Chains A and B, each alone.
Chain A
């Protein structure tokens, strides 16, 4: 699946990936790949700037630590991010139901 398909939904997807536990940048990319069963293989240049934007907006926060001698930035969901994720979920369910009914194959008329 092409990355453009995610356009407009990347923020929600990143928030959802961070919901269970804090993760560092590459772990987020790997989790996205695993949870989408390799359907979403986003370029690195898309994920890191999006994480920074979400942090600037207060939806996620980050902490620096040292792992194996190198600096690591780990992201976690904030309360505002958690609230936004719930809103996005509800909105997606409505949209998904509407699209499903619109795109459903018409029932064949019985003779």
Chain B
């Protein structure tokens, strides 16, 4: 590989490591930048420059990789927030179906309800409703109109983080209640459905933790390294 191509790859790598967010969007940005850099170099080659010098000038034109990566950060933040909301909404729907199936199986066996207290129903209902409301709020606020985002990208990330935190609370609380019931009445429960509901809750909490953490990491990065990059303009 010649030095021109190597420096072009090094530049793209320097941008790539500073791009947070969903992989497909990141790949598209990098592919577009690579094509742009090559097109800029080819323009200079047509003007009579050597390839290596043409690439050097093209890289100069594209500027500091950190600043370039920072310019894509808002759209990546919005994409991450939106993806987190969709993932968690699907996840909460699956886990909710498992909880209901477990509760109904107990009822059909002529036993008392799995969640005995009406307060349990209210608390669970409110938590799930809050998660769904936050998810819908994230989807609506990250929807775009007239070519401009409706809210600041950082705010959409925070909504997604709040949604993830509530999802974790829901899942862990449900897993704890279900496990306690399983221990309390080991022989009278439909253990397969209950086990599936407990496993679903744990997987849901894990997915929410990962998704929430990735949003938080981008948000924190935005207030430290990203802010430094933007501040140095």
Q: Which residues of A contact B (CB under 8 A)?
A: 11, 24-27, 29-30, 43-46, 48-49, 52-54, 56-59, 67-68, 70-73, 84
Contact = CB atoms under 8 A, between A and B. Distances in A.
Nearest to A27: B39
Given A44-B68, A45-B72, A72-B35, 5 more contacts: A25-B32, A45-B63, A45-B68, A48-B32, A70-B35
B61 A44 contact: yes
Interface stretch (B118-126, B141-149, B173-181): B141-149
Contact of A71 (B31, B68, B149): B31
Majority SS of interface residues in chain A? helix
Tell which of B74, B147, B148 has the most Cβ of chain A within 10 Å: B147
B31 A70 contact: yes
Contacts of A70: 31, 34-35, 38
Nearest to A73: B32
Contacts of B34: 70-71
B71 A26 contact: no
A46 B74 CA distance: 12
Interface in B16-38: 28-29, 31-36, 38
Nearest to B36: A26
Contacts of A84: 146-147
A48 B72 contact: yes
A16 to B, nearest CB: 14
Nearest to B58: A26
Given A26-B35, A44-B63, A71-B31, A57 B144 contact: yes
A46 B67 CA distance: 10
Nearest to B41: A26
B33 A48 contact: yes
A25 B63 CA distance: 16
A45 B70 CA distance: 8
Contact of B75 (A45, A49, A68, A71): A49
B62 interface: yes
